[in-house]
Amino acid sequence: MPLPSMSLRLLLPPRGLLVLLFLRRRRSPLRRCLRGWPAPATLAIPPRAFASSTLHVRACAFSGVSGMAAGSPPPPPQQQQQRCVEVREGVELTEKEERIFRRLLDVVRHFGLGTQLRVAGGWVRDKLLGKDSTDIDIALDNMTGQNFCEKVNEYSELMGEEQKGIGVIQCNPDQSKHLETARMLIFDIWIDFVNLRSEKYAENSRIPTVEIGTAKEDAFRRDLTINSLFFNINTNSVEDLTGRGLEDLKKGLIVTPLPAKATFLDDPLRVLRAIRFAARFNFTLTDELKEAASDEKVKSELGSKISKERIGHEVDLMMSDKHPVNAMCYIRDLGLFYVVFAFPEKPDPSVPDKCDWLCVSHIEVAWNLAHSIGCSVFSGGSDSKWQGEHQRLCLYSALFAPLRNTVYLDKKSKKVPVVNYIIRDSLKLKASDADSVVNIHAASEKFAELICLLESNENLATVKEKLDDEYLEIPTDLVKRVLAGLILREIKDFWRVALFISTLTYPEVGSASGSVSQQDKLHQRKEKYTRAERSITELELDGVWKMKPLLDGKAIMGIMQVKGGPPVGKWQQRQLKWQLAHPKGTTDECIEWMKQSQSKRQKVECNT
């Protein structure tokens, strides 16, 4: 049977695996607190007790959400304040999860496999933090994932149930898939199965030698202690085999199980994963980890040993996550900006000093401004996925806004935006992402002229002169509508994002003298965006890119008596301006205007 694209996160060396909890319906009280465990620690959790009464453990950590309203952006890492992290004593399973784990144990018992089933991955970490997760990865101690899946199918057949397809993902070291993974659907949830493993790295490679390992070896080879927790399904217990995973989770610390520098030199991608998790959970990078991440050798290895695709994937996850500004601040502060966002040779104009600080300051202002304005910036679609995509592209556009006018010469000596190079070549993201950001930057420059026009009528005559020609004169009171309509026709659904970026880069009143506070600047930008958005909406231009031409090229050729080519294109552009200036105009009225234009054109040609 055809399978959806396989999730290979279990096999990525940086990824921490967590262990799940199988709960039977008993009413035993909670017996042990998370504090004071010996290392390595195992927490025996009476399986159903926490379903009705969950004990919460509070511990201090450095984070930026203290005292902030829900939904407001956290301060960058250097401004973080002390707060408390709430960690649950136990894991509350859904009915579906209980059913899955019960079935897996039934398979082990029926065939006498003697297999210890440990769930690994972000599931345990997220469950202990009170977050939902459907990312179930199970580590096996004595057989391959494929063999175990076959046993699951064999048991299903005995139960009179339909057998499920098994997807086997072969090891692929170049893509960080170091051990074969099997995947199958169990009660409508995709489950990954893989062996416990140990890893040893060669000096000049991030691809390790992989062997079947113990649970403790598997825990210590993971990227972070908070990702090294297991849940042993057989014993109904959370296992902290590094001895500090639970404590670091309670304290909100990002720590590596082994020395940080050695961990990062083994696999430099783990630097970016550490940053991503620190930003996602608003946790703190320890001093040892920050020192290792800033090490010149680690940075060099990150640039040389890790593929651009892998770096781009991590950055994209950061930008799509809850606190992208914190992630970019960490990348800047740890001296990783130019490693992650590699520039082409000989950019024109040359990249200014402190470009990393300039770029990150733009995304920081954009984040604060977007939260001040509200979700309208990212509207344009009815579903959350659409809005998430708008937010993601908006943040990339803000981050690289200082480079929007910088170009370089490609192999064909063609001028190409540097932003295009960073997104397509440095991060290896989709070509459509690069095109969208470049188009947003171009539209934002045009919106600057429109904002000025909407704010006052100073340049009205100049703009009107640009739009008019010998065959079409735009009524003065419709110049703003025509200009705005032409811009929106180019950028389409992303017009609010382009307007937002234009507002972001628009100079504030009094900024030159330094007399305006940051809060006042934010308020100015918000008001400028709001006024411009309201004006465009009142001009009934939202969705103007869907407006169809009243006359097609063939009709224009007949009326204007031209043979096609560039002349038809010019008349199509004139027709667009005419329709924007005459929103209620009919096809007959458009034809009449063109006939009058044709008579005028013939007179001009006769005179010349």
Looking up tokens 């209980």 gives: 98
Tokens encoding 225: 């202690």
Tokens encoding 542: 């939202």
Residue 81 contacts residue 63 (beta carbons within 8 Å): yes
Q: Given a cut of 80, is residue 55 above it in pLDDT?
A: no
H, E, C per residue of 226-266: HHCCEEECCCCEEEECCCCHHHHHHHCEECCCCCHHHHHHH
Give the least confident one: 38-52, 94-108, 264-278, 416-430: 38-52
Where do the H-state alpha helices sit in 282-383? 287-293, 296-305, 308-319, 324-333, 337-340, 355-373
Provide the whole-model pTM: 0.81
Q: What is the pLDDT of residues 392-411, one digit of tens each?
A: 999 999 999 999 999 999 99
Average pLDDT, the chain: 83
Helix pair angle (566-581, 553-560), 10° resolution: 100
Residue 557 contacts residue 563 (beta carbons within 8 Å): yes
Residue 307 contacts residue 345 (beta carbons within 8 Å): no
β strands within 390-480, DSSP E: 407-409, 415-417
Q: What is the pLDDT of residues 173-230, one digit of tens each?
A: 454 445 688 999 999 999 999 999 776 655 555 556 667 789 999 999 899 999 999 9
Residue 210 pairs with which residues in a beta bridge?
A: 199
Tokens encoding 400: 């690289």
% of the chain with per-residue pLDDT over 90: 63
Residues 116-126 have a mean pLDDT of 92
Residues 139-166 have a mean pLDDT of 93
Q: Residue 608 has what pLDDT?
A: 62
CA distances from 162 to 154, 185, 186 (A): 10, 11, 11
Residue 165 contacts residue 175 (beta carbons within 8 Å): no
Gyration radius of the chain's alpha carbons: 30
| Domain covering 83-257, topology | Beta Polymerase; domain 2 (3.30.460)
SS3 579: helix
The pLDDT-based confidence of 156 (bands split at 50, 70, 90) is very high
Q: Is the peptide bond before 352 cis (omega within 30 degrees of 0)?
A: no
The pLDDT-based confidence of 455 (bands split at 50, 70, 90) is confident
What is the phi/psi pair of residue 101, to 5°?
-65, -35
Q: What is the pLDDT of residues 91-119, one digit of tens each?
A: 888 899 999 999 999 999 999 999 999 99
Tokens encoding 499: 């307007």
Instruction: Domain ranges for the chain, please list them.
Output: 83-257, 397-507+520-547, 550-607
